[in-house]
Amino acid sequence: MKNDLTQGSVADWLIKLTSPMVLGILSIFLFNLVDTYFISMLGTEPLAAISFTFPATMMVMNIAIGLSIATGAVVSKAIGQKNQEQTRNWVSSSFYLSIALGLVISLIGYISQEWVFGKMGAEASLIPLIREYMDTWYLGCVFLIVMIAVNACIRATGNTKLPSLIMLLSAVLNGILDPLLIFGIGPFPEMGMQGAAIATIISWGVAFIVIIRTLINMGLLRFSFPDNFIVTSQSLIKLGIPASLTNMLGAASKWYYRRLGRHIRYACRSRLWSGQPIRAFSVDCHNGINRQLAPVCWAKLWGLKKFDRIEEALKKSIFFVIVWQFIVYVALVLLAKPISQIFSDDLDVQTIIQTFLYILPISYIGLGICLVSTSTINALHLPKYSLLITLLRLFALYIPMAWGGHLYFGLSGIFWGCAIANILIGGYVAWVFYRVKNSPELLNRFIVHA
């Protein structure tokens, strides 16, 4: 807690905090990419099966991210107020709440798989393969939820290097275990898709142990329930639900996106949807900034009440998102052909992936502006406004435009519809913040509600 986020250059703090966080998020990207790569060696059906698991696993991760946003906000506030005891209470409450949440999600996910994946359009022949992976994955997702939620506590102290290093080492361990357990190399049994899930759980378990030991050594975690556990849990849930819904709606839109493209022939579809890590890489820096704006804003708002520094952090973050995404887009366009060849040797699939890369990534500038802005809103304990923006993006723009584009122009129309929706929501959010900034009445109302 020695790091004082209320002092020094805002730009320097954003760079210091965001750089390690981007590394940590890249490690999550590596989990998906490595699993997809090795499972693709098992054949087309296993690859198609694992591609169906992405929306479900992302849904769980987004619930955990919602809790982490709430945790980061309240812990950062307590740190900004120099309240050690309150900080310990929030950390301990988040720890126990995330365990309880993980157990509930595991049970619901385990018993509802056939219905969920059937509604997603999975063929009957794929359900056994999906369950081979997800049965094990759900049993271990408690580790993932605790890891994501409680990691926010360490980041809130200003130490982003350690959590990111833990996540990266976990990804490396997963990459080592994947081929051993999937293909049965050496003394290990050949376990196929289940082996990939077991490798993932072992990696999460190791990270879980390291994180808990770290919190204990920092004096931030107690093994007895806080006296006000019910009250603090209610506060975390109240803050976390809108943030989780915001992220979950994004994952749900991927389900709709998949349903629109279900007419693509089987081999093409499995490889196209397994190429989603391309999108993840493109927006990793956005997410890194988003996850750090909460502690920065809370330390300013509730520590020294420096609202001008919040504005400066938001402006610099948006500027970075624009520059970063433009650079990524140029790189993806130039490398579109070799990237498509990595994912498939099918010319039709390559064409689809190239079309995706030519159209969608540039629109992530608008998406990035939206994500950074809603993250700031969440940090100010106003998650309902963030949820409203997400509802607007998905149900007034994203889904109608994707549907209309598909109706008139086919698959490329889906890409164009999503791209236009991203640009429009980014422009709208930028306009709203401009109005709030230049209207003393609106600004004062916003601050009062926060």
pLDDT 10s digits, 18-28: 666 666 666 66
pLDDT band at 99 (very low <50, low <70, confident <90, very high): very high
Q: How far apart are CA 216 and CA 383, in angstroms?
A: 30
Average pLDDT over residues 320-326: 84
Whether 72 contacts 87, CB under 8 Å: no
More confident residue, 212 or 77: 212
Average pLDDT over residues 340-369: 82
Q: How far apart are CA 20 and CA 17, in angstroms?
A: 6
Backbone phi, psi, residue 382, to 5°: -125, 50
pLDDT digit string, tens, across residues 134-182: 999 998 889 989 988 888 888 777 777 788 788 888 888 999 999 999 9
> Mean pLDDT, the chain, as a whole number?
79
**SS3 state at 263:** coil
Choice among 29-33, 49-53, 80-84, 109-113 with the minimum mean pLDDT: 29-33
Average pLDDT over residues 285-312: 58
Can you read off the two tokens belonging to residue 173? 């361990």
Cβ neighbours, 10 Å, residue 155: 26
* 358-361-366 Cα angle (round to 5): 135
- 53 CA to centre of own chain: 15
Can you read off the two tokens belonging to residue 433? 């913040």
Choice among 159-168, 197-206, 245-254 with the minimum mean pLDDT: 245-254
Whether 5 contacts 157, CB under 8 Å: no
Q: Of the spans 164-168, 186-190, 272-276, which averages the highest pLDDT?
A: 186-190
The residue with tokens 């808990």 is 212
pLDDT band at 1 (very low <50, low <70, confident <90, very high): very low
Whole-number pLDDT of residue 135: 94
Average pLDDT over residues 396-415: 86
More confident residue, 185 or 351: 185
Among residues 405, 423, 120, 407, which one has the least CA distance to residue 251? 120
Whole-number pLDDT of residue 2: 46
Average pLDDT over residues 124-134: 92
Cα separations (Å) of 151 from 20, 137, 359, 371?
Answer: 13, 20, 35, 20
Cα separations (Å) of 103 from 95, 134, 313?
Answer: 13, 15, 37
Tell me the percentage of the chain whose pLDDT exceeds 90: 20
pLDDT band at 344 (very low <50, low <70, confident <90, very high): low
Residue 13 has pLDDT above 90, yes or no: no
CA torsion, ordered 228, 374, 76, 150, to nearest 10 deg: 70
Whether 130 contacts 118, CB under 8 Å: no
Q: How far apart are CA 419 and CA 402, in angstroms?
A: 9
**SS3 state at 255:** helix
More confident residue, 228 or 288: 228
